[in-house]
Chains A and B, each alone.
Chain A
C-alpha cells in the first residue's frame, strides 16, 4: 500500500442520518399530539370556568320596541351574527345580528326566552327604574313596581325607597322561613312520631298475632299516643295556617312593560334589584348573594334555580363513606396479595382480574349494586329488622349506604393497585433490618412497611375519592335522586340515615342540563355545578399531591 503511495480515501460518513434513523419527527409528532390534547383539556376547563364564573353576574335589562310597536323587556343573554333568510320581494340582506333575551314573566306570557334580530327593533333603551325580581316560582319577573299591600296599608311606589323595599322583602323571607320550619320540622316531627306509633303497633301484630294479649295492650297504648299526637298536630297545623293567611295578605304588585300586572306574596320574592341602576359594587353585592344562595340553599324550580347544598352534602357524605369502606378493604387485599400470599399463578390471576375490574363499565357496578346490595342485602335487612314497614322498603331500595358500597367496589382496584405498588416499592433492606431485630412479619409490616407505603396508599385513596365523587351512572341506580326530601345526615336520631336516597353533583348536572323543561334557563346552573364539581375533584387531586410530598419527605429522605 505504502509503496504505490495511494491510500484509499478515508470512509466518510454522511453527517445527515436518513430520516428513518432520526427520532425527531416522532418526537414532534408525539409532542404535537400531546400539545393538542392539553390545549383541548385546558380550553374546556377555561370555557367551564368562564361560563361558571360569569353566570351570576347581573346583566343589563333592555326595553325593546319592535317594528310592530309591541314592547318587551328582557335581560340580554348573548348575541350572535347570522344570515337572515331572504324573504320574497326583498333583496337578500347581508349578515345581521340577533340577540337572545330572557324575558321573564313566564306566567303571563308563556315565553321565557326570545331571539330578537336587530332588523326587527325600532327602539331600544335601558331604563334605570326597571326591576328584576327573582321569585320562588315562575322564574324572574321584569317590569315595574306598582304597589305594596301590607294587609292593612297600601303603599304606592313613590315614597318607597329601594332600601325600604329590600327591608320589606327581608322581613317577608323571615316569615317564609318560619312557616316552613313550622311545617317541615315541627309538623314533620309529629308526623314521624305518629308513623312510629303505627309501625310499632304493626310490629306487635306481626310478632304476636292480632288476637294476643300483647296486641290489645299495645293497641290501647297506641291509641292514647295517637290521640295526643293528633291533638298536637291539629294545633300546629292551625298555627301554620294562621301564619300562612297573614303572609298571604302581604303582597306586592308588579307590572310588565306591556302593562300586564302580577300580584305575588312579598315572601315569594327571593331577590329584587334594578339592573340598570346598579353600580359596580351593587353588582358585586348581587353576585355574592347569588353565590351564597348557590352554596347554602336548597334547589328551587325543578333544580334550575336556587342552591345545590343538598347535592354538595350528599356528594360529601357519599365520598367520605366510600373512602372509609374502600380504604381498609383495599389495603388489606393488597397486603395479602403482596406480603402474605405465596406468589403463584393463582395470585397472578387474582391480580390480573383486579386490574381488569378497573375497566368494567361503571353502569355494570350500578346494576350489581342494585341487585346485590339494595334488593339482596337490603331486602334481607328489611325482612329481618323492618318487617313492620313492608311492603314499602327501608334498606331495600337505593340509599347512601348502598351507593357508597357500590362506589367502594368500583374504586377498589385503584386502591389495591396503588397499595400494591407502594408496598413493592418498600426496599427489601428495610424489611430485613426489621426482621433482623427480631420483629415478626406483622410487626415489620405495621412499623416499617406500612408507614413507608403510606404516601402511595394515600395517593391511591384520594384518586379513588376523586373518581367516586365524579361518578354518575351507577349512582342513578343505587340511591341518587333528582330531589331528596331529607339529607342523609340530620339532627334526628340516629343522625346518620344510611337508607336514605340523596342528591349528588354529577347527577345534578345531568338532571338540570338535560332533563329540565327549560334548558336555556338551567344553563348557568349547569356551568356552576360543573365548575363546583371540577373544583372538588381538583382539590382532592391537589390534596393527594400535597399529602404524598409531605409523607415522602418524612419517610424517604436521607443520603448515603
Chain B
C-alpha cells in the first residue's frame, strides 16, 4: 500500500478528455492495480467503457494492454500468484466479489484473441460452442444462432456450403472472423479484442474493421491495437497506456488531434514506441 502511494507521487494523474457518447458507462474501473507475483503490471487505472461504443487501447509493447483487457473477463484468474486491487463494476456489479459467477461473467463478455484459436471441430460446432456449453439441445435454435453469428461476422457467404467441415481448413482471416462469430454467438454485452488483426493481411484487416463498425452499437467493444490508423478509424474513445498506467483517455478525435500529455503526443505521432 505504501509503495503504491509513493508511486503516485511521481506520476501525473490520468488526463480525462470529454467522452464521446451519452448513453453512460457499462463498465467502470476504479483504482485498479494488478500484480504478477511481486511485479506490478497495472497502476491505479481509472477508466470507463461507454455503452455501445468502441474503445481502443493503445500504448507501447509491454505497457499492460492485454493485462487490462484480460482483467475485464477475469481471464487472469488462471495465472498463479496474481493479485488485484481496486474494483471493476460491470452493469452495477463488482466483478471481483466472491459471489460473482465467473462463468456467467465470461458469457457476457466475449473475447477474441490475437492469434485465431478455432477449436478442432467443424465450423458450425465452433460457432455453436457457447450454446453447447450452456446445454442447449434445440437444433433449430443452434442452426439459427450459427447463421446469425456467421452473418454478423461477415463469414456466412464464404462458409455456408461447408459448415460441417473442419474449421482448421479456413484461412487465417476467416479463422479470426470465425472466432468473432463464436464470441458473439452467445450474444454478450461486451466484446474484448486483443490485437485481432495482427496476424492478418490488409484485406482481411479491412473486413474486420468494417465488422467492428457494424457491431458497434449492439456491443460495447474494447480493442487493443498497435495500429494508430486503425485506432483512429474504428474507435470512438481511445485510451493511451504507458508502463502500466493510463496516461490519457477520451474521445478518439481529441486524443489524436490535441493530445495533452507529451507521451501521448509522441506516441500517436509515431516518435516513439
Contact = CB atoms under 8 A, between A and B. Distances in A.
15 contacts: A343-B80, A433-B118, A434-B129, A435-B75, A435-B106, A436-B110, A436-B111, A437-B129, A438-B133, A438-B134, A439-B103, A440-B103, A451-B120, A554-B166, A559-B168
Contacts of A427: 117
Which of A343, A429, A558 has the most CB atoms of chain B within a 10 A radius of its CB? A558
B113 A432 contact: yes
Interface string A415-449: 00000000000010111111111111001000110
A558 B107 CA distance: 27
A560 B115 contact: yes
A436 B73 contact: yes
Contacts of B60: none
Nearest to A560: B172
A556 B99 CA distance: 38
Given A439-B129, A554-B120, A559-B172, 13 more contacts: A429-B115, A429-B117, A430-B117, A433-B113, A433-B118, A435-B106, A437-B107, A437-B183, A439-B103, A439-B133, A447-B129, A557-B166, A558-B166
Nearest to B182: A437
B117 A437 contact: no
Contacts of A439: 103, 129, 133
A510 interface: no
Contacts of A436: 73, 75, 106, 110-111, 113, 183
A555 interface: yes
A438 B190 CA distance: 13
B186 interface: yes
Interface string B80-113: 1000000000000000000000011011001101
B103 to A, nearest CB: 5
Contact of A555 (B73, B110, B117, B120): B120
Given A438-B103, A438-B106, A438-B107, A430 B133 contact: no
Contacts of B169: 557-558
A431 B119 CA distance: 9
A216 to B, nearest CB: 61
A427 B117 CA distance: 10
A500 interface: no
Interface string A339-379: 00011000000000000000000000000000000000000
A437 B178 CA distance: 13
Nearest to A452: B120
Interface in A5-39: none
A393 to B, nearest CB: 50
Nearest to B134: A438
B103 A433 contact: no
Interface of A: 342-343, 427, 429-440, 443, 447-448, 451-452, 554-560
B133 A433 contact: no
Given A438-B104, A440-B103, A557-B168, A433 B119 contact: yes
Interface in B139-160: none
A432 B130 CA distance: 13
A559 B174 CA distance: 11
A355 B161 CA distance: 49
Contacts of B107: 437-438
A196 B179 CA distance: 66
Nearest to B130: A437
A438 B186 contact: yes
B131 to A, nearest CB: 9
B199 interface: yes
B78 interface: yes
Nearest to B133: A439
A435 B168 CA distance: 19
B116 interface: yes
User: Looking at chain B, what size class is its interface with the partner chain?
Assistant: 20 to 34
In terms of DSSP, what is the predominant structure of the interface of chain A? helix
Contacts of B80: 342-343
Query: 9 tightest A-B contacts by CB?
Result: A558-B168, A438-B107, A436-B111, A555-B120, A433-B117, A429-B117, A439-B133, A437-B130, A438-B106
Contacts of B104: 438
Contacts of B172: 559-560
A440 B77 CA distance: 13
Nearest to A451: B120
Contacts of A448: 119
A560 B199 contact: yes
Contacts of A342: 80
Nearest to A556: B120
A437 B186 contact: yes
Contact of A433 (B179, B186, B199): B179
A201 B115 CA distance: 74
A433 B180 CA distance: 11
Interface in B167-194: 168-169, 172, 175, 179, 182-183, 186
A436 B199 CA distance: 20
A153 B106 CA distance: 94
Contacts of A431: 78
B119 A430 contact: yes
A452 B113 CA distance: 20
A554 B179 CA distance: 19
Contacts of A556: 120
A436 B110 CA distance: 6
Contacts of A434: 119, 129, 133
Contacts of A451: 120
Contacts of A433: 113, 117-119, 179, 182
B195 to A, nearest CB: 13
Contacts of B75: 432, 435-436
A431 to B, nearest CB: 8
A560 B120 CA distance: 14
Contacts of B117: 427, 429-430, 432-433
A255 B241 CA distance: 106
A335 to B, nearest CB: 17
A447 B103 CA distance: 16
B162 interface: no
Contacts of B8: none
Contacts of B175: 560
B218 interface: no
A443 B168 contact: no
Which of B116, B119, B130, B179 has the most CB atoms of chain A within a 10 A radius of its CB? B119
A437 B73 CA distance: 10
B132 interface: yes
Contacts of B115: 429, 560
Contacts of B134: 438
A448 B73 CA distance: 20
Nearest to A443: B133
Contacts of A555: 120
Nearest to B109: A436
B194 to A, nearest CB: 10
A73 B182 CA distance: 83
Which of A435, A438, A447, A555 has the most CB atoms of chain B within a 10 A radius of its CB? A438
A342 B199 CA distance: 34
B110 to A, nearest CB: 7
Contacts of A559: 168, 172
Contacts of A558: 118, 120, 166, 168-169
Nearest to B104: A438
B148 to A, nearest CB: 16
A427 B168 CA distance: 15
A435 B132 CA distance: 13
Nearest to B74: A435
Nearest to A429: B117
Contacts of A440: 103, 133
